[in-house]
Structure 1
Amino acid sequence: MSKKRSITIGLVTFVLALIATTVIGVIYLSSVASTRRERAAFMAGNIANRIEAEIKNRDYITRLLEIEVKNANGALTQERFYKVGEALFDDYLDVVDISIAPGGIVTYVYPLQSAYTERKNLFDDNFEGVYLDNSKQTGVGIILAPVKLPDGSYGIIIRRPIYLGDGRNNGDFWGFASVTISLSSFLSDVNISGIADEGYEYKLIGNDVITGDSRIIMEYSEKALATPVEAMISTVGGGYWTLELSPLGNWMEAYEILSAFGIILIISILFALNMAAFSSLKANTKELEVMSYRDALTNLYNPRSYQEHMEELSKKKLPYGLIFIDLNDFKKVNDTYGHETGDALLNIVAKRLQNSIREKDRAFRIGGDEFVVVIHGTHDKRFYENVISRMRQNVARNVVIGDITLRGSISAGYARCPEDGTKFEDVVKKADDAMYNNKRLIKASRNGAANGRNL
């Protein structure tokens, strides 16, 4: 009986130990896969930020051309254009040509040997026509990619509508400033090929803000990616691209799973496996600490970071200002289109708010649709009004999510330290009061109108 009992206890102990180590093993493997996804997301975010910055740099070329045309009151000379074109062209190795098109007719192109030297009516191109008409009517620039260039390669075209005078109507429309970029050279500059060197495959997808369609701009392979991580890239005119990233194999290979469970069967000791999991957790502690200061949805700083940052400013008695921001009618979006659409809208609004402020200032998400921007240093009221105006304009651009087009608006108010109070609590109250006063004014204005505008 004693021997039988010992065998029974041994079997029960083995089963319990096996169950415990198996559970811990599953947790460990999930943690490894999660860490790999986080690393991939970090890499995708870095590449996406570089692409976004470089697109802005190329778009600035069209902005400079617009300034030249306006300074010349629409009568930009060929000699002046070539001087400007030469200065801009030499700064970017991936730029194929720079051109201006009064009334949509390509007139000047730099360099002269470009395939676009011959006169060309942009509106004759069926591919571009709908985009150019929309750009002409709205005053918003466009980005086309991938576009097949005359030499058979693929490129990116950025076009900016130019208007003379103060209005944006057909009478004031002058034409377009354009820059053509070699797609392969551009992506080489941002080192997108480095993703493959790290053992990942990728797809760069353009999301059309006009048609709502998506198209592949560049991809490592044509097969669908397995559970990829994604990074959003703001482009031109409120458009955006998406960078998808996944490993060449799987986030967790079969041989890794089998090896882990083989070790579990051999060891079958709970404490040893628990120590391995603890070691793995300790290795990730620093990274998790950094993540704890970021909002998981928008990647803005979170309430914890906001509280610590304000404590530091108050302790050092440094001047600052707070801009409280609330997204109007956000509940209607969630109720009408669902929380996934609402989350996508918050993500885009967060990016636009971040793009509206200086690099040294900080944007925080402190609630569902509530944001705070901390402005460092001493500035007059005009400065804050300009920042808020820029935020309103950026947020008000159309947001296309799938087949849904939304148009956002914000309520905002600000207060400064020490001008509006020397204590943090006083500054917060004044900024919050100002924001809610702005919200009441907006609501009153809508109620007074014949038809209110929905988000």
Structure 2
Amino acid sequence: MSKKRSIRLGLITFAISLIITTMLAMAFLSNTSRIRRERATFIAESIANRIHAEIKNREYITRILEIEVMSSDGELTQDTFQKIGEALFDDNIDVVDMTLAPNGVINYVYPMNSGVSERVNLFEDSQNKVHVDNSKNAGVGIIMTPVNLPNDTYGIIIRRPIYLGDEKSSDSFWGFASVTINLSDFLSGVNIKGIAEEGYEYKLKGTDVVTGKTQIIMEYSERELAAPVEAMISTVGGSYWTLSISPFGNWMELYEAAGVLIIVITISILLAMLVAAYASLQATAKELEVLSYRDELTNLYNPRSYQDHMEELSKKKLPYGLIYIDLNDFKQVNDNYGHDIGDALLNIVAKRLQNSIREKDRAFRVGGDEFVVVIHGTQDRKFYESVIARMRENVAREVTIGEIELKASISAGYARCPEDGTKFEDVVKKADEAMYYNKRLLKAKRLAGQEKGRMTARDFR
């Protein structure tokens, strides 16, 4: 073989190798950037799901107040309101106050020392007028944030119009139920600041459905984010928040691209390195995909999986049922023994719930101590009652964690599609209302001193 031919063959081999390695390098850079964005999207959606779930939990407080007002035909006494407020207040450490405003005038406040002035007419207050007018006329709840609180902090106000009767009209309008939340405590509870620990900047913005204005609720820094990924958060009454995150630097740094170029030039080494790196990235992508549908603590399906699964059932118009489940008095475990014990209890309860259902049905963890079980197919009420009874029995078995013995109980309610509603939102609402009705019954028994076997500090041994 002549020297020229050897050089020519070497050049051809180099050119072919350079093309292949360049293509692989481009694929590597693109795939790395995509996976980083997928990871960021997963983190953003996880935080967004937590925020959505916690807002719904706080909105339920106004729903409970609405039910109590309607149950009393609008004649709720101050004493009854204070007892209700006391029962609800301890469940949420970020709640600042709860109020009722008959005809828009605040007459009920809990706690009394919260700093909220009674006799304030919301329809005449400049900060509230536009929102309460719209809420009354549209018959939907509203969320306002950030609002200035009396202690020079920022907060969230969730307000629900109350009507006495089936029709939502001016004649049946009773007033408003409101809950005020400390914004900093609320966002700390969903660990929004943990995004920065993962290496990302963030901005949380809220769009007011009434005014159309978008405000920054919380941000890591004032600078604009570079090509952020976003997660939408449905809040109250059609309003929504947007969580945007992006890395502190760029999705792909210049020095990274330069490094790949150097590796491309060293052809013999690059091929082996790129194949190994590409396979590793593909495995990481699959692992992230699996993790994105599982709850990290309990290994049950997570809110993202729940949403996707229900969209699939609704799209195929398949019959199903939802069982909404809430672990009673879970806050007391965290307060008395710490979050490690609380997490261990949640993990045990999750396994017991999973063991209480059929293999073809699915269990999801959708909030801190909230679970949903999806029952597939058409089943009668006796079937659901037997499933719930089995869950209660399994969960009620004594739990031993180290030297600590606990007793747990659940509140549960169910609804079926299409028997209780053809739309997913209607089924969710009925199942949720049934669960909270069950929880109110338990709380009522507790207040009356009649409940037995519930999870309280007296049961911790």
**TM tier, shorter chain?**
0.5 to 0.7
Q: Which moved more, 1:26-35 or 1:253-262?
A: 253-262
**Map of 2:417 onto structure 1:** 384
Q: In structure 1, which of residues 335, 353, 359 is the aligned counterpart of residue 372 of structure 2? A: 359
Distance 1:131 1:302, change over 3 A: closer
Residues 298-318 of structure 1: CA deviation (Å, up to 9, x unaligned): 962499x88xxx9xxxxxxxx
Q: Distance in 2 between matches of 1:288 and 1:393?
A: 30
**Map of 1:409 onto structure 2:** none
Shift of 1:33: 1.3
**Map of 2:319 onto structure 1:** 322
**Map of 2:258 onto structure 1:** 258
Root-mean-square deviation (CA), in Å?
3.5
Distance 1:159 1:283, change over 3 A: closer
**Map of 1:280 onto structure 2:** 281
Shift of 1:101: 0.7
Q: For residue 359 of structure 1, what is the amino acid of its counterpart? A: V
Shift of 1:390: 4.9
Q: For residue 102 of structure 1, what is the amino acid of its counterpart? A: P
Shift of 1:386: 4.8
Secondary structure at the counterpart of residue 372 of structure 2: coil
Matched, 1:227 2:224: no
Unmatched tracts of structure 2, length 5 or more: 295-300, 321-365, 383-414, 429-461
**Map of 1:407 onto structure 2:** none
Is the CA contact 1:96–1:114 (under 8 Å) kept in the aligned structure 2? yes
Residues 412-432 of structure 1: CA deviation (Å, up to 9, x unaligned): xxxxxxxxxxxxxxxxxxxxx
Is the CA contact 1:228–1:245 (under 8 Å) kept in the aligned structure 2? yes
Residues 105-148 of structure 1: CA deviation (Å, up to 9, x unaligned): 11121111222134311122333222211111121111111112
**Map of 2:124 onto structure 1:** 124
Alignment of structure 1 residues 278-317 onto 2, 5 Å: 278-288=279-289, 300-301=308-309
Alignment of structure 1 residues 182-193 onto 2, 5 Å: 182-193=182-193
Is the CA contact 1:162–1:177 (under 8 Å) kept in the aligned structure 2? yes
Distance 1:91 1:119, change over 3 A: same
Q: Percent identity?
A: 53
Using structure 1 for the length normalisation, give the TM-score: 0.66
Shift of 1:288: 4.9
Q: Distance in 1 between matches of 2:290 and 2:190?
A: 29
Is the CA contact 1:18–1:268 (under 8 Å) kept in the aligned structure 2? no
Is the CA contact 2:18–2:267 (under 8 Å) kept in the aligned structure 1? no
**Map of 1:22 onto structure 2:** 22
Using structure 2 for the length normalisation, give the TM-score: 0.66
**Map of 2:84 onto structure 1:** 84
**Map of 1:32 onto structure 2:** 32
Q: Distance in 1 between matches of 2:256 and 2:310?
A: 36
Distance 1:386 1:163, change over 3 A: farther
Distance 1:182 1:247, change over 3 A: same
Q: Distance in 2 between matches of 1:302 and 1:87?
A: 33
Number of matched pairs: 338
Alignment of structure 1 residues 416-435 onto 2, 5 Å: none
Unmatched tracts of structure 1, length 5 or more: 311-319, 324-353, 363-373, 396-455
Distance 1:111 1:283, change over 3 A: closer
Q: Distance in 2 between matches of 1:288 and 1:114?
A: 45
Q: For residue 234 of structure 1, what is the amino acid of its counterpart? A: S
Q: Distance in 1 between matches of 2:265 and 2:38?
A: 29
Q: For residue 106 of structure 1, what is the amino acid of its counterpart? A: I
